[in-house]
């Protein structure tokens, strides 16, 4: 039987791969909106990883990843707009 947190780790990997794809496309296509999508996907990746740690009961890693996600979302939005 799988642990409940594996679902969030799977979402973490999917979001991280999406971040890589958006980042590579942004570099090659030079679209600013793709940079924003890449940073948002990276922030969601950190958030999903934090949620997986929360389910496992590791509160320090949870807070660390959630704060990373929050700061990336705020800074990416601030610099884009």
Q: Domain limits of the chain?
A: 27-80
Q: How far apart are CA 50 and CA 46, in angstroms?
A: 6
Please give the pLDDT value at position 43. 97
Closest by Cα among 37, 64, 34 to 49: 64
Q: How far apart are CA 18 and CA 21, in angstroms?
A: 5
CA atoms within 13 A on the CB side of 80: 16
Q: What is the pLDDT of residues 25-71, one digit of tens each?
A: 999 998 899 999 999 999 999 999 999 999 999 999 999 999 999 99
Please give the pLDDT value at position 3. 81
| Tally of helices (H runs) and strands (E runs) in the chain | 3, 0
Closest by Cα among 20, 12, 19 to 65: 12
Q: pTM of the predicted model, to two decimals?
A: 0.90
Top-confidence residue, 3 or 53: 53
């Amino acid at each position: 039987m799988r642990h409940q947190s594996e679902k969030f780790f799977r979402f973490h990997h999917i979001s991280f791969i999406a971040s890589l794809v958006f980042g590579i496309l942004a570099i090659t296509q030079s679209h600013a909106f793709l940079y924003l999508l890449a940073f948002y996907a990276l922030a969601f990746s950190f958030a999903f990883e934090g949620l997986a740690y929360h389910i496992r009961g590791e509160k320090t890693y949870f807070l660390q990843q959630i704060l990373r996600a929050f700061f990336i979302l705020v800074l990416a939005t601030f610099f884009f707009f």
